[in-house]
Amino acid sequence: MKQQHTVGSPVPRKEGRDKVTGQARYVDDLHFPDMLYGVTVRSPVARGHLRQIVFDSDVIPWDEFVIVTAKDIPGLNAVALILLDQPYLADKFVNHAEEPVLLLAHHDKYLLEEARRAVRVQIDPLPAIFSIEDSLNRKETIWGEDNVFKHFHVEKGDVDSVWGDADFIVEGEYTTGAQEQLYIENNGVIAIANQDDGVTVWGSMQCPYYVHKALSKLFPLDETKIRVIQVETGGGFGGKEEYPSMIAGHAALLAWKSGRPVKMVYDRAEDMVATTKRHPSRTRHRTAVSREGKLLGMDIEFVVDGGAYATLSSVVLSRGTIHAAGPYNCPNVRIQSKAIATNVPPHGAFRGFGAPQSIFALERHLNKVAGVVGLAPEELRRRNFIHEGEMTATSQVIHEKVDMDGLMKRAFELTDYYEKRKRFEVENASSRQKKGIGFASFMHGAGFTGSGEQFLESVVGVEATRDGRVRVLAASTEIGQGTNTIFAQIAADALSVDYDLIEIARPDTGSVPNSGPTVASRTVMIVGKLVESAAIGLKQTLVNSGLLATEYSSQEFQKACVEYLEKHGPLKSFSKYKQPENIRWDDEKYRGDAYGAYAWAVYVAEVTVDPITYEAHVDDFVAVQEVGHVMHPILAAGQIEGGVAQAIGFTLFENVVWKEGRMANNQMTNYIMPTAADIPPIRVFFAETQYALGPSGAKGIGELPMDGAAPAILNAIEHATGLSLTHVPLMPEELMLAMENERA
Amino acid sequence: MARLLDVLREDLRLTGTKEGCGEGECGACSVLIDGVLVNSCLVPALQVAGAEIKTIEGIASGEQLHRVQQAFIDCGGAQCGICTPGMVIAAISLLNHNSNPDEAAIRNGLAGNLCRCTGYIKIFEAVVRACQSPEA
């Protein structure tokens, strides 16, 4: 019997060796014989009628090119996701700058680039709208009847009853900007497509079955003739959740028309200007609070800018809405939210999925509330933290042993919070540079919202191989976060065999079941649990067959697998998600158990603000969280560190400059993400509990670290400067204006 | 004119060297030219005639990983892996110039290589671990 558990230990990353030696093959590293390259010709303006496409230049041999327009689409001209409003190629109308209009392919990629520049897309422009305000005011109606993709209304208690008796009513408005994904590998695919073989796409992606669904509508083919294969993927973060359906369709259309393999890989400028970013947001809070600092009522209005098409905005809005009232026990809550349309490229999934936006607003606002009541920010939180048995905004009774006080206590001890809070105030009076320390407390739900997991009906398989190893069959992708490693750990422990005995099948819709998308911090908690139960099923089959004793070594297990295959044929075991009875959700009222489990956290940031350069620098960052059982200490810490770094970028570095609805700074040269020289020490600590329904007690982790840094840093800047800032990213220019206003 | 990066990736099919931005910002295409760390996307191929180019494919000795590569595995310095070849090359270049860099030197040495996954912390740990490992 294998003694040691692999879950919880820092086993080496499954594909680590390939990655450090450069042997891992990403899509742009693949080359097919007879392959063409594909590019996209895009709209130069934000909105208008497509008048004409002119093939300029006498030097381009146009007859050598494969050219695809909307008229060449064999099936449905819509990227099938939630709605069918976004075309693969604009036909008569464009709704955002850089909207795809025409596709070109050629074997010479240098000539191809010249040709792309020689196509003139002529559009009769129409007035466009680019802001949440203009969209809400319907300055132009650009989507549906009212520019609203989706709205939600969450109601708990009776908010209208609290205003008369409240000791204080505190209002505030908070906004967040767009954020570029900036995975280091741009979007890319290779497609083969023809009537006989069907459509096969290899690509960088998070969700092979999303792409499969979209291609099934784009081509008039039986689903079995569509195959989507994820290759090594150089970062996702949500940016490769829905967008790959677009680029995969484009490459497949060119392949369909040409009869040759087509590779389409964006360069950085195109990826930045045309693909999805984090939704900009606006949140308004009106809060009733008692003299003792008890929250009496929270009225919250949350709006996200979805861009020109619906994509995933309704779901992003949902998560942002549910997280908008945070880990607090407030008896009366109303949250009204909207995802609205503007004429910018659609915003999409990005780590945190709406929650970083609404949590930023709440955690800044609670500092304001604390100030009005006359309490320290931590004391206000402490008087309102949610506990086991109390209800969230969606009236979900928390059945976890949540201990926000404990997380806060630990975070403050690790940072000397109280000592620094006092000392900085004294020192700032005479020092040129101003120091501050601040925090945010928050939670993040794991898995799809509400009944989402029930609808997904995810399936995972495991199979024995001919050499007696076990292969995990799932569509969940490795995008750097460690899916391969964690699944192998879970399967190894469930089978009581060595970690090295487990293989992970390449996510290929032709050979793995649909375990759902690789999103929503669900891969370990939901899909991992299915890996565990499928593995247990396989072991049971071996034991029942009499080939495996109840106690065995890895070698004996291997032998039993080999014998089983020889005697009985294939040995496979599948497991399908079943919603636990105690998770209940009302989609109509938006009430109930929004998530099976939450991760809970308190993050503390220490900053220095320079009143001459107006730089705000994060000097130290401590992240304390409870994510259930920690499956792999290095991968888990890596998730937190990476997420915090991304969130520091979101807070202080990453500013999307918009010009007529188009990203103007679509280069790494002038859209700045944090480098090795910019990042503070990020100190990560886990408090561990066991979540009964997760594999080995684990919950979700991936998105959590995106939520807390922005408010913690701005709260620290408030401590350092006294400035109550309400927008991220906070660029030095804005800090300068705020500080100058303060002085004036 | 072909860039060194194109010659490596397309003509020689040495695809371990990656392209992240094409403008010398991200460092995914880092290689050593006569021992000097450069972004191969900014170098015209003609310019390196007669020079020794070292890419990620030339770092391990057969099955034996370089101590920096091993440290990246042990410490979790690679997540999605797309920046990793360039990051490993940059770390080796750093250690070639300074066998025992302090934290500031590590940060500066790697500041030309962007990573969106790790927040760099595990990469710093890997460089420290590599310094402590015997040279293979």
Domain range list for chain A: 16-22+452-576, 31-126+182-274, 277-449+589-743
Name the DSSP letter for residue A698: B
Percent of chain A residues past pLDDT 90, beyond the cut: 98
Q: What token pair was written down for A460? A: 């995972």
Name the DSSP letter for residue A231: P
- Measured between alpha carbons, how far is A692 from B6 in angstroms, rounded to an integer? 52
Q: Give pLDDT, residue A743.
A: 86
- Measured between alpha carbons, how far is A626 from A400 in angstroms, rounded to an integer? 11
Span A273-302, mean pLDDT?
A: 98
Q: What single letter denotes the amino acid at residue A723?
A: L
Taking CB atoms and an 8 Å cutoff, what residues of chain B touch A12? 73-74
Quick check: A329 pLDDT over 90? yes
How many alpha carbons lie under 13 Å from residue A499 in its C-beta half-sphere?
A: 20
The residue assigned the tokens 């400035």 is A723
Report which of A583, A246, A614, A617 is spatially closest to residue A448, judged by C-alpha positions: A583
Quick check: A2 pLDDT over 70? no
- Min Cα distance A731 → chain B (Å) is 20
CA angle, A459 as apex, A454 and A465 as ends, to 5°?
170
Its CATH architecture, for the domain A277-449+589-743, is 2-Layer Sandwich (3.30)
User: Within 10 Å of residue A667's Cβ, how many Cβ atoms?
Assistant: 16
Q: Does A31 touch chain B (CB under 8 A)?
A: yes
Phi, psi dihedral angles at A45 (to 5 degrees): -125, 170
Quick check: B43 pLDDT over 90? yes
Q: Does B23 touch chain A (CB under 8 A)?
A: yes
Q: Does A237 touch chain B (CB under 8 A)?
A: yes
Q: Give pLDDT, residue A59.
A: 87
- Min Cα distance A428 → chain B (Å) is 26
Report which of A659, A546, A687 is spatially closest to residue A46, judged by C-alpha positions: A659
Quick check: A122 pLDDT over 90? yes
- The DSSP-derived string for A171-224 is EEEEEE--EE---SSPPEEEEEEETTTEEEEEE--S-HHHHHHHHHHHSSS-GG
Which residue of A lies nearest to B81 if distances are taken between CA atoms? A19
- Measured between alpha carbons, how far is B109 from A294 in angstroms, rounded to an integer? 50
* Contact between A19 and B106 using a beta-carbon 8 Å cutoff: no
Quick check: A1 pLDDT over 70? no
CA angle, B80 as apex, B75 and B85 as ends, to 5°?
75
* Contact between A677 and B18 using a beta-carbon 8 Å cutoff: no
Report which of A263, A240, A308 is spatially closest to residue A28, judged by C-alpha positions: A263
ipTM of the complex: 0.99
The residue assigned the tokens 């990656």 is B18
Q: What single letter denotes the amino acid at residue A662?
A: R
Quick check: A4 pLDDT over 90? no
User: Within 10 Å of residue A286's Cβ, how many Cβ atoms?
Assistant: 17
pLDDT tens by residue, A397-411: 999 999 999 999 999
Beta strands in A329-410 (DSSP E): 333-341
pLDDT tens by residue, A710-721: 999 999 999 999
- Measured between alpha carbons, how far is A558 from A469 in angstroms, rounded to an integer? 6
* Global pTM value: 0.98
Name the pLDDT band for A229 (thresholds 50, 70, 90). very high
Ranges of H-type helices in A416-468: 417-428, 452-456
Residue A667 has its nearest CB partner, among B23, B60, B123, at B23
pLDDT tens by residue, A502-545: 999 999 999 999 999 999 999 999 999 999 999 999 999 999 99
What is the per-residue burial (b if ≥16 Cβ within 10 Å, else e) of A67-92?
Answer: bbbbebbebbbbbbbebebbbbbbee
Report which of A311, A252, A296 is spatially closest to residue A87, judged by C-alpha positions: A311
Burial label, A464 (beta-carbon count in 10 A; 0-12, 13-18, 19+) = buried
pLDDT tens by residue, A568-622: 999 999 999 999 988 999 999 999 999 999 999 999 999 999 999 999 999 999 9
Residue A21 has its nearest CB partner, among B9, B56, B83, at B56
For strands A48-55 and A93-94, give the pairing.
antiparallel
Q: Average the pLDDT over each of A61-65, A561-565, A631-635, A688-692 and give the range with the smallest value.
A: A688-692
Q: Which domains does chain B have, with CATH numbers?
A: 4-58 (3.10.20.30), 67-132 (1.10.150.120)
pLDDT tens by residue, A16-37: 999 999 999 999 999 999 999 9
Name the pLDDT band for B134 (thresholds 50, 70, 90). confident
Quick check: A3 pLDDT over 70? no
Coil vs helix vs strand at A617: strand
In A669-698, the residues whose Cβ lies within 8 Å of chain B are: 669, 673, 675-677, 679, 681-682
Report which of A495, A557, A488, A560 is spatially closest to residue A524, judged by C-alpha positions: A488
Span B23-51, mean pLDDT?
A: 98
CA A231, distance to chain mean position in Å, is 19
Is there a shared CATH topology between the A16-22+452-576 domain and the A31-126+182-274 domain? yes
- The DSSP-derived string for A540-590 is HHHHHTTSS-SS--HHHHHHHHHHHHHHHS--EEEEE----TT--EETTTT
Q: What single letter denotes the amino acid at residue A303?
A: V
- Min Cα distance A184 → chain B (Å) is 5
CB A204 within 8 A of CB A27: yes
In B96-125, the residues whose Cβ lies within 8 Å of chain A are: 106-108, 110-124
Q: Does A13 touch chain B (CB under 8 A)?
A: yes
Q: Give pLDDT, residue A514.
A: 98
Taking CB atoms and an 8 Å cutoff, what residues of chain B touch A31? 13
Preceding amide of A732 cis, omega within 30: no
* Contact between B25 and A679 using a beta-carbon 8 Å cutoff: no
- Measured between alpha carbons, how far is A458 from A465 in angstroms, rounded to an integer? 23
Q: What token pair was written down for A417? A: 């919070």
Q: Does B79 touch chain A (CB under 8 A)?
A: yes
Q: What single letter denotes the amino acid at residue A455?
A: F
CATH number of A31-126+182-274: 3.30.365.10
- Measured between alpha carbons, how far is A584 from A345 in angstroms, rounded to an integer? 36
Q: Give pLDDT, residue A330.
A: 98
Name the DSSP letter for residue A697: G
Coil vs helix vs strand at A91: coil
* Contact between B23 and A668 using a beta-carbon 8 Å cutoff: yes
CB B17 within 8 A of CB B8: yes
Residue A12 has its nearest CB partner, among B73, B115, B123, at B73
Span A312-335, mean pLDDT?
A: 98
Report which of A611, A593, A290, A288 is spatially closest to residue A435, judged by C-alpha positions: A611
* Contact between A22 and B115 using a beta-carbon 8 Å cutoff: no
In A159-188, the residues whose Cβ lies within 8 Å of chain B are: 182-186
Q: What single letter denotes the amino acid at residue A516?
A: G
pLDDT tens by residue, A413-441: 999 999 999 999 999 999 999 999 999 99
Report which of A574, A546, A460, A560 is spatially closest to residue A501, judged by C-alpha positions: A560
How many alpha carbons lie under 13 Å from residue A521 in its C-beta half-sphere?
A: 32
Coil vs helix vs strand at A421: helix
Which residue of A lies nearest to B17 if distances are taken between CA atoms? A22
| Residue-averaged pLDDT of chain A | 97
Percent of chain B residues past pLDDT 70, beyond the cut: 99
Cα→Cα distances A68→A71, A188, A199, Å: 8, 18, 17
pLDDT tens by residue, A448-475: 999 999 999 999 999 999 999 999 999 9
CB A142 within 8 A of CB A95: yes
Q: Does B18 touch chain A (CB under 8 A)?
A: yes
Cα→Cα distances A537→A500, A531, A576, B132, Å: 20, 10, 12, 45
Q: What single letter denotes the amino acid at residue A508?
A: D
Taking CB atoms and an 8 Å cutoff, what residues of chain A touch B16? 21-23
Cα→Cα distances A686→A3, A597, A629, A631, A647, Å: 25, 16, 9, 11, 19
Name the pLDDT band for A305 (thresholds 50, 70, 90). very high
What is the interface size between A and B, counted as CB pairs within 8 Å?
Answer: 170
Ranges of H-type helices in A75-207: 109-118, 132-136
Ranges of H-type helices in B1-136: 4-6, 67-75, 84-97, 103-110, 121-132
Report which of A342, A347, A282, A346 is spatially closest to residue A129, judged by C-alpha positions: A342
CATH number of A16-22+452-576: 3.30.365.10
- Measured between alpha carbons, how far is A194 from A255 in angstroms, rounded to an integer? 7
Name the pLDDT band for A744 (thresholds 50, 70, 90). confident
